[in-house]
Amino acid sequence: MALETGKIASGVVDSLKAQPLSLALVVMNLALIGFIYMQGTAFNTQRAENVKLFLEVQREVQKLLSQCIIPPPQTFRPGTFRGPPDEKATGISQSEEGK
């Protein structure tokens, strides 16, 4: 088994010696794969930091909103309707309104 592996390895090295362009292609492919991996890890790291910042800001906003006082809903109570405003409150008489 080791002898066959050695023959295959020496055959690959001999073919790469005979064709330097294929060796350059292999090296460039490995460099491209390495570059893509580095870009992906940098992107994922930056994205994780952005998610943390977003969640922190969202928590702060949620904390501020939880401290807001929400007035209770107004309910209709029978007999509490006052009718139209009177002349003393607005300073406008009913006859002046129609003009």
Model pLDDT for residues 26-77, shown as the tens digit of each residue: 899 999 999 999 999 999 999 999 999 999 999 999 988 888 877 677 776 6
Cβ 87 vs Cβ 94: under 8 Å: yes
Residue type, 9: A
Distance (Å, whole) CA 73 – CA 88: 29
> Alpha-carbon distance 60 to 74, whole Å?
30
Q: What is the pLDDT of residue 66?
A: 84
**pTM score, whole prediction:** 0.49
Say what the pLDDT of residue 53 is.
Answer: 96
State the Cα–Cα distance between residues 34 and 40, nearest whole angstrom: 10
Please tell me the predicted confidence (pLDDT) of residue 33. Answer: 98
**Cβ-based neighbours of 8, under 8 Å, separated by 6 or more:** none
